[in-house]
Homo-oligomer: A and B are copies of this chain.
């Protein structure tokens, strides 16, 4: 299942909000449609957001005709700004936008056709590199999975989140491919239900045994000794190792620590943000209360009920047993070279 596909000057985005009931692609012919799809979580998952933003910027070069009363540079910066503003927490989005702006800078002076080709190639390159990184993350991470293993994961970090094999879920897939005996517990992940809708669907397709639970069932499983380890993805990992991930991740980290079970984070280096020192510096996106008030359009409470709906929480580095990246498994303090812009970009 391809998450993003470029076809005839058009970006096709798999509408993940409709999964698993409907498989439907949104045709984006303008970068603003890409921004909207990101904002509405039609495409989600930190690495996939990076790739979507990169293609969004490539698309902007196709939208620019020279008749806008503006230079392409200004048009591109506007597109970059629009795409960046969609979701503030996942740093991969920002990383991909920066990378594309750099590529565009190198193309300055070229014809519009050459710029279009160059940006499109760069977007494809980001997607391809991501797939390779997923493979490396999965291979490094699989070493950490015993057999048999009862693994708790969270949200969706599979092919749908990265457009590759996945990060945390990629590790699970790889260990399963290696013949390890794995059972995955999948919390539904309220409010947008990525666990119930996406993760169980990916696990089923790959034949990995699993059980869906409500988010609040995790503690009970730990108490009964039914969880051997936790592995999650990340939306932003800052310099000291603190990280933002889907709301509820922190609860699982505390439960894992309390029950003395390892808790791993799997993410590519593009998820690291060395510019922020501590987790509390990460901007946490607060989303529409209706995501909580309504499920599939049906009210589950009364209209206008006061709601607090942060999309992410922050887990401190002390609770993390290891960070699984495409360069290997690490612990802070991270090597500065890891974050060098030349390497990471």
Residues of A near any B CB (own CB < 8 A): 20-21, 185, 187-191, 193, 196-197, 200-201, 204, 210-220, 223, 247-248, 250-251, 254-255, 257-258, 292-293, 295-302, 305-310, 313-314
From residue A24, how far is it (CB to closest CB) to chain B in Å? 16
Known: A188-B292, A258-B258. A204 touches B308 (CB 8 A): no
Q: Give A257 to B21 CA distance when docked, in angstroms.
A: 41
From residue A327, how far is it (CB to closest CB) to chain B in Å? 29
Contact present for B200 and A214 (CB under 8 Å): no
Contact present for A20 and B301 (CB under 8 Å): yes
Contact present for A212 and B307 (CB under 8 Å): yes
Contact partner of A200 among B296, B301, B314, CB < 8 A? B301
Known: A211-B308, A296-B300. A258 touches B247 (CB 8 A): no
Instruction: Find the residue from A185, A196, A219, A308 having the highest chain B CB count within 10 A.
Output: A219
* Complex A-B, nearest 10 residue pairs according to Cβ-Cβ distance, in ascending order: A216-B248, A219-B251, A220-B313, A190-B214, A296-B298, A196-B301, A219-B250, A215-B216, A295-B295, A212-B307
Contact partner of A220 among B196, B215, B314, CB < 8 A? B314
Known: A190-B190, A212-B305, A223-B313. A247 touches B21 (CB 8 A): no
Contact present for A215 and B190 (CB under 8 Å): yes
Set of chain B residues within 8 Å of A196, measured between Cβ atoms:
292-293, 300-301, 305
Contact present for A258 and B251 (CB under 8 Å): no
Set of chain B residues within 8 Å of A296, measured between Cβ atoms:
295-296, 298, 300
Chain B's closest residue to A19 (CB) is B302
In the complex this chain forms, how many copies of it are found?
2
Contact partner of A300 among B218, B257, B295, B305, CB < 8 A? B295
Contact partner of A191 among B185, B214, B297, B305, CB < 8 A? B214
Known: A20-B302, A197-B301. A254 touches B219 (CB 8 A): yes
Chain B's closest residue to A20 (CB) is B302
Q: Give A307 to B212 CA distance when docked, in angstroms.
A: 5
Q: Give A251 to B214 CA distance when docked, in angstroms.
A: 12
Set of chain B residues within 8 Å of A197, measured between Cβ atoms:
300-301
From residue A34, how far is it (CB to closest CB) to chain B in Å? 27
Contact partner of A254 among B185, B191, B250, B255, CB < 8 A? B255
Contact partner of A218 among B193, B210, B251, CB < 8 A? B251
Q: Give A282 to B308 CA distance when docked, in angstroms.
A: 35
In the assembled complex, 30 residue pairs joining A and B whose CB atoms fall closer than 8 Å, in A order, are: A21-B299, A187-B216, A188-B190, A188-B301, A189-B216, A190-B215, A197-B301, A200-B302, A204-B302, A211-B307, A211-B308, A212-B293, A212-B307, A213-B292, A213-B309, A214-B248, A215-B216, A216-B248, A217-B247, A217-B248, A217-B310, A219-B254, A220-B247, A220-B250, A223-B313, A257-B258, A295-B298, A296-B298, A296-B300, A298-B298
From residue A138, how far is it (CB to closest CB) to chain B in Å? 24
